[in-house]
Amino acid sequence: MVTPMSTLRRRLTRGAFALLSLAVPWGLVPQTAAAQNNVLHVYSARHYPGDEALYEGFTKATGITIRRVDSDDAGIVARLRAEGPASPADVVLLVDAARMAAADAQGLFRPVQSAKLDAAIPPELRAARTPEGVTWTGFSTRARVIVYDPLRVKAEDVATYEQLADPKLKGLLCTRSGSHPYNLSLFATVIERLGDEKGQQWLNGLVANMARAPKGGDTDQIRAVASGECGVALSNSYYLARLVKSDQPEDRKVMERVRVVFPNQATTGTHVNIAGAAVARHTKNPEAAVRFLEYLASPEAQAYFANGNNEFPAARGVVLDNPALKAIGGDRFKAETIPLTVVAKNLTKVQQMLDRAGYK
Protein backbone atom coordinates (compact mmCIF):
# COMPACT_ATOMS: atom_id res chain seq x y z
CA MET A 1 0.00 0.00 0.00
CA VAL A 2 1.36 3.41 -0.98
CA THR A 3 1.38 5.98 1.81
CA PRO A 4 0.37 9.61 1.19
CA MET A 5 3.93 10.78 1.87
CA SER A 6 5.50 8.41 -0.65
CA THR A 7 2.91 9.53 -3.22
CA LEU A 8 3.81 13.13 -2.53
CA ARG A 9 7.51 12.41 -2.93
CA ARG A 10 6.94 10.78 -6.28
CA ARG A 11 5.18 13.86 -7.53
CA LEU A 12 7.70 16.36 -6.32
CA THR A 13 10.32 17.52 -8.81
CA ARG A 14 13.93 17.22 -7.77
CA GLY A 15 14.23 20.99 -7.29
CA ALA A 16 11.01 21.23 -5.28
CA PHE A 17 12.08 18.37 -3.05
CA ALA A 18 15.43 20.07 -2.44
CA LEU A 19 13.60 23.26 -1.47
CA LEU A 20 11.30 21.32 0.84
CA SER A 21 14.30 19.71 2.52
CA LEU A 22 15.62 23.14 3.47
CA ALA A 23 12.41 24.03 5.25
CA VAL A 24 11.82 20.74 7.10
CA PRO A 25 14.30 20.33 9.97
CA TRP A 26 15.96 17.17 11.10
CA GLY A 27 15.11 15.47 14.35
CA LEU A 28 11.53 14.40 13.53
CA VAL A 29 12.28 10.99 15.03
CA PRO A 30 12.32 11.25 18.85
CA GLN A 31 15.68 10.67 20.47
CA THR A 32 16.70 10.17 24.05
CA ALA A 33 18.59 12.99 25.76
CA ALA A 34 21.71 10.81 25.91
CA ALA A 35 21.55 10.13 22.16
CA GLN A 36 21.07 13.82 21.38
CA ASN A 37 24.05 14.78 23.54
CA ASN A 38 26.28 12.34 21.66
CA VAL A 39 25.53 13.88 18.23
CA LEU A 40 26.56 17.32 17.00
CA HIS A 41 24.82 18.85 13.99
CA VAL A 42 27.19 21.09 12.02
CA TYR A 43 26.14 23.39 9.18
CA SER A 44 29.32 24.04 7.19
CA ALA A 45 30.31 26.35 4.34
CA ARG A 46 33.78 24.82 4.37
CA HIS A 47 34.28 22.40 1.48
CA TYR A 48 37.90 21.39 1.97
CA PRO A 49 38.98 17.72 1.91
CA GLY A 50 41.35 18.24 4.82
CA ASP A 51 38.44 19.05 7.11
CA GLU A 52 37.41 15.39 7.24
CA ALA A 53 40.43 14.76 9.48
CA LEU A 54 39.27 17.67 11.64
CA TYR A 55 35.86 16.11 12.26
CA GLU A 56 37.31 12.65 12.78
CA GLY A 57 39.76 14.06 15.30
CA PHE A 58 36.96 15.62 17.34
CA THR A 59 34.94 12.40 17.35
CA LYS A 60 37.99 10.37 18.38
CA ALA A 61 38.75 12.79 21.21
CA THR A 62 35.19 13.13 22.55
CA GLY A 63 33.09 10.23 21.27
CA ILE A 64 30.64 12.76 19.83
CA THR A 65 29.44 11.99 16.30
CA ILE A 66 29.20 14.85 13.81
CA ARG A 67 26.35 15.05 11.34
CA ARG A 68 27.10 17.68 8.74
CA VAL A 69 25.13 19.73 6.24
CA ASP A 70 27.32 21.29 3.53
CA SER A 71 26.17 24.37 1.63
CA ASP A 72 27.42 27.83 0.75
CA ASP A 73 27.16 30.65 3.26
CA ALA A 74 23.95 32.06 1.81
CA GLY A 75 22.32 28.63 1.78
CA ILE A 76 23.21 28.00 5.41
CA VAL A 77 21.87 31.37 6.54
CA ALA A 78 18.65 30.81 4.56
CA ARG A 79 18.21 27.38 6.12
CA LEU A 80 18.76 28.66 9.66
CA ARG A 81 16.22 31.41 9.11
CA ALA A 82 13.66 29.00 7.61
CA GLU A 83 14.04 26.45 10.39
CA GLY A 84 13.90 28.97 13.22
CA PRO A 85 13.66 27.50 16.74
CA ALA A 86 13.12 24.02 15.25
CA SER A 87 16.57 23.99 13.67
CA PRO A 88 18.74 21.02 14.62
CA ALA A 89 21.94 23.03 13.96
CA ASP A 90 24.40 23.15 16.85
CA VAL A 91 27.44 24.72 15.15
CA VAL A 92 27.75 26.99 12.12
CA LEU A 93 30.99 27.20 10.08
CA LEU A 94 31.39 30.14 7.65
CA VAL A 95 34.43 31.35 5.71
CA ASP A 96 34.57 35.11 5.97
CA ALA A 97 34.27 37.78 8.66
CA ALA A 98 31.73 39.72 6.59
CA ARG A 99 29.52 36.65 6.34
CA MET A 100 29.93 35.86 10.05
CA ALA A 101 28.99 39.43 10.94
CA ALA A 102 25.97 39.45 8.64
CA ALA A 103 24.63 36.19 10.10
CA ASP A 104 25.30 37.46 13.62
CA ALA A 105 23.32 40.63 12.87
CA GLN A 106 20.33 38.42 12.03
CA GLY A 107 20.44 36.85 15.49
CA LEU A 108 21.49 33.39 14.28
CA PHE A 109 24.27 32.80 16.82
CA ARG A 110 24.30 32.08 20.55
CA PRO A 111 26.86 33.90 22.76
CA VAL A 112 29.56 31.69 24.25
CA GLN A 113 31.52 31.97 27.49
CA SER A 114 34.74 29.96 27.32
CA ALA A 115 37.99 30.55 29.17
CA LYS A 116 39.76 28.19 26.73
CA LEU A 117 38.71 30.25 23.71
CA ASP A 118 39.60 33.48 25.49
CA ALA A 119 43.10 32.16 26.12
CA ALA A 120 43.63 30.75 22.63
CA ILE A 121 42.14 33.22 20.11
CA PRO A 122 43.19 36.90 19.89
CA PRO A 123 40.30 39.33 20.44
CA GLU A 124 40.72 40.96 17.01
CA LEU A 125 39.75 37.64 15.40
CA ARG A 126 36.47 37.35 17.28
CA ALA A 127 33.15 39.14 17.58
CA ALA A 128 32.96 41.92 20.13
CA ARG A 129 32.39 40.68 23.66
CA THR A 130 29.09 41.41 25.35
CA PRO A 131 28.02 40.54 28.91
CA GLU A 132 26.46 37.37 27.49
CA GLY A 133 29.67 36.28 25.75
CA VAL A 134 31.16 36.12 22.23
CA THR A 135 28.95 35.13 19.31
CA TRP A 136 31.54 34.03 16.72
CA THR A 137 35.22 33.17 16.66
CA GLY A 138 37.83 32.90 13.91
CA PHE A 139 39.78 29.65 13.95
CA SER A 140 41.99 30.09 10.88
CA THR A 141 43.17 33.07 8.89
CA ARG A 142 44.11 33.85 5.31
CA ALA A 143 46.04 36.91 4.16
CA ARG A 144 44.77 39.20 1.37
CA VAL A 145 47.96 39.57 -0.64
CA ILE A 146 49.03 41.38 -3.81
CA VAL A 147 50.18 39.31 -6.81
CA TYR A 148 52.17 41.09 -9.52
CA ASP A 149 54.07 40.56 -12.76
CA PRO A 150 57.73 41.47 -12.12
CA LEU A 151 58.22 42.21 -15.83
CA ARG A 152 55.64 45.01 -15.73
CA VAL A 153 55.44 46.14 -12.11
CA LYS A 154 58.07 46.98 -9.50
CA ALA A 155 57.69 45.50 -6.04
CA GLU A 156 58.06 48.92 -4.43
CA ASP A 157 55.05 50.17 -6.41
CA VAL A 158 52.73 47.57 -4.86
CA ALA A 159 54.03 47.52 -1.31
CA THR A 160 50.70 48.76 0.12
CA TYR A 161 47.00 48.43 -0.58
CA GLU A 162 46.85 52.20 -0.95
CA GLN A 163 49.27 52.08 -3.91
CA LEU A 164 46.82 50.00 -5.92
CA ALA A 165 44.99 53.26 -6.64
CA ASP A 166 48.13 55.05 -7.89
CA PRO A 167 47.73 56.20 -11.54
CA LYS A 168 51.03 54.52 -12.44
CA LEU A 169 49.11 51.21 -12.27
CA LYS A 170 46.47 52.39 -14.73
CA GLY A 171 45.25 49.52 -16.91
CA LEU A 172 47.04 46.87 -14.83
CA LEU A 173 44.74 45.95 -11.91
CA CYS A 174 42.50 42.86 -11.88
CA THR A 175 40.19 41.73 -9.09
CA ARG A 176 37.16 39.59 -8.51
CA SER A 177 33.87 41.41 -7.79
CA GLY A 178 34.19 44.29 -5.39
CA SER A 179 31.09 43.03 -3.59
CA HIS A 180 32.58 39.61 -2.91
CA PRO A 181 33.03 39.20 0.86
CA TYR A 182 36.81 38.70 0.53
CA ASN A 183 37.09 42.17 -1.00
CA LEU A 184 34.39 43.73 1.18
CA SER A 185 36.30 42.69 4.30
CA LEU A 186 39.53 44.18 2.98
CA PHE A 187 37.86 47.39 1.82
CA ALA A 188 36.06 47.81 5.14
CA THR A 189 39.35 47.75 7.08
CA VAL A 190 41.22 50.01 4.63
CA ILE A 191 38.42 52.57 4.77
CA GLU A 192 38.42 52.34 8.56
CA ARG A 193 42.02 53.57 8.42
CA LEU A 194 41.66 56.12 5.63
CA GLY A 195 38.33 57.62 6.57
CA ASP A 196 35.33 58.00 4.28
CA GLU A 197 36.60 60.78 2.00
CA LYS A 198 40.02 59.29 1.30
CA GLY A 199 38.48 55.82 1.22
CA GLN A 200 36.11 56.86 -1.56
CA GLN A 201 39.03 58.35 -3.50
CA TRP A 202 40.91 55.08 -3.06
CA LEU A 203 38.04 52.99 -4.42
CA ASN A 204 37.67 55.41 -7.34
CA GLY A 205 41.37 54.94 -8.06
CA LEU A 206 41.05 51.16 -8.05
CA VAL A 207 38.28 51.36 -10.65
CA ALA A 208 40.34 53.76 -12.77
CA ASN A 209 43.25 51.30 -12.77
CA MET A 210 41.27 48.22 -13.87
CA ALA A 211 42.68 46.20 -16.76
CA ARG A 212 39.21 44.68 -17.27
CA ALA A 213 35.88 44.46 -15.49
CA PRO A 214 36.04 42.42 -12.28
CA LYS A 215 35.28 38.74 -12.82
CA GLY A 216 36.22 35.25 -11.72
CA GLY A 217 37.72 34.05 -8.47
CA ASP A 218 41.10 34.60 -6.87
CA THR A 219 42.82 31.83 -8.83
CA ASP A 220 41.58 33.46 -12.03
CA GLN A 221 43.27 36.71 -10.99
CA ILE A 222 46.58 34.92 -10.38
CA ARG A 223 46.41 33.20 -13.77
CA ALA A 224 45.53 36.51 -15.45
CA VAL A 225 48.71 38.08 -14.04
CA ALA A 226 50.78 35.10 -15.20
CA SER A 227 49.30 35.30 -18.70
CA GLY A 228 49.97 39.02 -19.06
CA GLU A 229 46.31 40.05 -19.12
CA CYS A 230 46.87 41.90 -15.83
CA GLY A 231 49.89 43.34 -14.10
CA VAL A 232 48.68 43.18 -10.50
CA ALA A 233 45.84 41.49 -8.60
CA LEU A 234 44.47 40.65 -5.16
CA SER A 235 44.24 37.10 -3.84
CA ASN A 236 43.83 35.17 -0.63
CA SER A 237 47.08 33.49 0.33
CA TYR A 238 45.80 29.90 0.30
CA TYR A 239 45.03 30.04 -3.43
CA LEU A 240 48.71 30.72 -4.06
CA ALA A 241 49.78 27.93 -1.70
CA ARG A 242 47.55 25.52 -3.62
CA LEU A 243 49.34 26.39 -6.83
CA VAL A 244 52.72 25.96 -5.14
CA LYS A 245 51.72 22.47 -3.98
CA SER A 246 50.08 21.47 -7.26
CA ASP A 247 51.56 18.64 -9.31
CA GLN A 248 50.26 20.20 -12.53
CA PRO A 249 53.02 21.71 -14.72
CA GLU A 250 50.80 24.63 -15.76
CA ASP A 251 50.29 25.60 -12.10
CA ARG A 252 54.03 25.58 -11.47
CA LYS A 253 54.52 27.81 -14.53
CA VAL A 254 52.00 30.26 -13.11
CA MET A 255 53.95 30.54 -9.87
CA GLU A 256 57.22 30.98 -11.78
CA ARG A 257 55.72 34.00 -13.57
CA VAL A 258 54.26 35.90 -10.61
CA ARG A 259 55.53 37.42 -7.40
CA VAL A 260 53.74 37.92 -4.09
CA VAL A 261 53.68 40.90 -1.73
CA PHE A 262 52.29 40.89 1.80
CA PRO A 263 51.17 44.54 1.82
CA ASN A 264 51.65 47.29 4.39
CA GLN A 265 54.52 45.62 6.24
CA ALA A 266 56.07 48.97 7.13
CA THR A 267 52.78 50.35 8.45
CA THR A 268 49.59 48.61 9.55
CA GLY A 269 50.29 45.06 8.40
CA THR A 270 48.59 42.78 5.89
CA HIS A 271 44.83 42.33 6.07
CA VAL A 272 43.81 38.89 7.33
CA ASN A 273 40.36 37.40 7.09
CA ILE A 274 39.02 34.41 8.99
CA ALA A 275 37.17 31.18 8.66
CA GLY A 276 35.09 30.99 11.78
CA ALA A 277 32.51 29.16 13.82
CA ALA A 278 29.60 29.95 16.07
CA VAL A 279 27.13 28.10 18.23
CA ALA A 280 23.73 28.15 16.54
CA ARG A 281 21.11 30.25 18.29
CA HIS A 282 18.70 27.32 18.77
CA THR A 283 21.19 24.55 19.52
CA LYS A 284 19.80 21.61 21.44
CA ASN A 285 23.29 20.56 22.53
CA PRO A 286 25.13 23.70 23.68
CA GLU A 287 27.74 21.91 25.81
CA ALA A 288 28.94 19.75 22.92
CA ALA A 289 28.85 22.77 20.60
CA VAL A 290 31.18 24.71 22.90
CA ARG A 291 33.44 21.65 23.18
CA PHE A 292 33.70 21.59 19.39
CA LEU A 293 34.66 25.28 19.25
CA GLU A 294 37.28 24.69 21.93
CA TYR A 295 38.61 21.74 19.94
CA LEU A 296 38.97 23.97 16.86
CA ALA A 297 41.35 26.14 18.88
CA SER A 298 43.51 23.17 19.91
CA PRO A 299 46.99 22.65 18.40
CA GLU A 300 45.78 19.45 16.70
CA ALA A 301 42.89 21.19 14.93
CA GLN A 302 44.99 24.22 14.09
CA ALA A 303 47.43 21.91 12.30
CA TYR A 304 44.55 20.55 10.20
CA PHE A 305 43.62 24.09 9.15
CA ALA A 306 47.21 24.92 8.22
CA ASN A 307 48.12 21.74 6.39
CA GLY A 308 44.73 20.68 5.04
CA ASN A 309 43.71 23.97 3.43
CA ASN A 310 46.86 26.10 3.58
CA GLU A 311 45.40 28.50 6.11
CA PHE A 312 47.26 30.23 8.93
CA PRO A 313 46.66 29.13 12.52
CA ALA A 314 44.58 31.58 14.51
CA ALA A 315 45.39 30.32 18.00
CA ARG A 316 48.22 31.90 19.97
CA GLY A 317 51.46 29.97 20.14
CA VAL A 318 50.78 27.57 17.25
CA VAL A 319 53.78 27.42 14.90
CA LEU A 320 53.17 27.40 11.15
CA ASP A 321 54.52 24.26 9.51
CA ASN A 322 53.41 24.44 5.89
CA PRO A 323 56.16 24.60 3.22
CA ALA A 324 53.83 26.06 0.58
CA LEU A 325 52.87 29.00 2.79
CA LYS A 326 56.49 29.49 3.77
CA ALA A 327 57.42 29.53 0.07
CA ILE A 328 55.30 32.65 -0.49
CA GLY A 329 56.52 34.39 2.67
CA GLY A 330 53.70 33.36 4.95
CA ASP A 331 55.99 32.57 7.87
CA ARG A 332 57.38 36.07 8.22
CA PHE A 333 54.72 38.71 7.70
CA LYS A 334 53.10 41.23 10.02
CA ALA A 335 49.33 40.89 10.18
CA GLU A 336 46.92 43.76 10.59
CA THR A 337 45.42 44.03 14.07
CA ILE A 338 42.28 46.07 13.33
CA PRO A 339 39.45 44.06 14.89
CA LEU A 340 37.36 42.27 12.30
CA THR A 341 34.29 43.67 14.03
CA VAL A 342 34.85 46.84 11.98
CA VAL A 343 33.76 44.75 8.99
CA ALA A 344 30.26 44.52 10.44
CA LYS A 345 30.19 48.23 11.15
CA ASN A 346 31.35 49.26 7.68
CA LEU A 347 29.68 46.73 5.36
CA THR A 348 26.67 48.77 4.26
CA LYS A 349 28.69 51.94 3.91
CA VAL A 350 31.40 50.22 1.86
CA GLN A 351 28.86 48.72 -0.52
CA GLN A 352 27.39 52.17 -1.09
CA MET A 353 30.88 53.57 -1.73
CA LEU A 354 31.56 50.77 -4.23
CA ASP A 355 28.34 51.67 -6.04
CA ARG A 356 29.39 55.32 -6.24
CA ALA A 357 32.80 54.30 -7.59
CA GLY A 358 31.24 52.05 -10.21
CA TYR A 359 33.10 49.04 -8.82
CA LYS A 360 31.19 46.01 -10.13
Rounded distance, CA 277 to CA 112, Å? 11
- Return the pLDDT at 36: 60
41 is in an annotated binding site: no
Q: Quote the pLDDT of residue 20.
A: 31
CA 187, CA 196: separation in Å to the nearest integer?
A: 11
pLDDT of residue 178: 96
**Residue-level pLDDT at 309:** 87
pLDDT (tens, 9 = 90+) of the chain, 360 residues, equals 334 433 333 333 333 333 333 333 333 334 444 456 799 999 999 988 778 889 999 999 999 999 999 999 999 999 999 999 999 999 999 999 989 998 999 999 999 999 999 999 999 999 999 999 999 999 999 999 999 999 999 999 999 999 999 999 999 999 999 999 999 999 999 999 999 999 999 999 999 999 999 999 999 999 999 999 999 999 999 999 999 999 999 999 999 999 999 999 999 999 999 999 999 999 999 999 999 999 999 999 999 888 888 999 999 998 888 999 999 999 999 999 998 888 878 889 999 999 999 999
Q: Are 104 and 136 in contact (CB under 8 A)?
A: yes
Please indicate if the annotation marks 148 as binding a ligand. no
Is residue 63 classed exposed, middle or buried when 0-12, 13-18 and 19+ CB atoms within 10 A define those classes?
exposed
Whether residue 271 contacts residue 161, with contact meaning beta carbons closer than 8 Å, is answered with yes
**Cα–chain center distance at 152:** 31
| Count of C-beta atoms within a 10 Å radius of residue 7 | 10
End-to-end CA distance of the chain: 57
Closest by alpha carbon to 87, among 284, 286, 346? 284
Phi and psi of 43, rounded to 5°?
-100, 120
Domains present along the chain, CATH in parentheses: 31-141+273-321 (3.40.190.10), 142-271+337-357 (3.40.190.10)
- pLDDT of amino acid 187: 96
238 is in an annotated binding site: yes
Distance between CA 63 and CA 55 in Å, rounded? 11
| CA distances, 138 to each of 95, 166, 241, 257, 313 (Å) | 9, 33, 20, 33, 10
